[in-house]
Amino acid sequence: MLRGMAILLGLQLVGEVLTRWLEMPLPGSVVGMLLLLAGLRAGIFRVDWVKDAAELLLSNLSLLFVPAGVGVMVYADLIARHWLALSVAASLSTLIVLAVTGWSAQYLARKGGK
């Protein structure tokens, strides 16, 4: 577990350094994710080193968003002033993205003979 956590945090740190250094418009964690993938592929890390820590974080991913959700209260005034436009745009647009992405993925994957 500890080794896994050290690897995950270490790769995030490397990702943060790289994105800052190369001025990439990406969070360091996304680069860290790609580094973990590359490291596992290259045999630098073994699956059982990171498995426990990764499982713990991923099976509780939704919990980690709760504080950001509570943060909405700080901007309550701004949101209250534009609530109708914001809620219609956010919900309708989310449904449109789900439909466009899901349909095109399913259609293209089937066409590709899968």
Partner 1 sequence: MLSPLVQTPLFGITLTLVTYELASCVYRRWPLALLNPVIVTAACIILFLSLLDIPYAQYAAGGDILLFLLGPAVVALGLPLYQRRAEIISRLLPTLCAVSAGAVASIVSATGILLLFGSDTGLILSMAPKSVTTPIAIGISEKIGGIVPLTAAIVVVTGCFGGMVGPTFCRLLGIRDPFAMGLAMGTAAHGLGTGRMLEIDRFGGAMAGLSIGLNGVITAAIIPIFVALLP
**Residues 62-101, interacting with partner 1 (CB under 8 A):** 62-75, 78-79, 82, 84-101
Nearer of residues 22 and 90 to partner 1, judged by Cβ: 90
Q: Does 22 bind partner 1 (CB under 8 A)?
A: no
**What does the chain come to in residues?**
114
Kindly state the greatest CA–CA separation across the chain.
54
DSSP state of 73: G
Q: Does 27 bind partner 1 (CB under 8 A)?
A: yes
Question: Residues touching partner 1: how many (CB under 8 A)?
Answer: 73
* 27 C-beta neighbours (distance < 10 Å), count: 13
Answer for the pair 52, 6: CB distance below 8 angstroms, yes or no.
no
| Segment 38 to 57, residues that bind partner 1, using CB under 8 A | 40-41, 47, 50-51, 53-54, 57
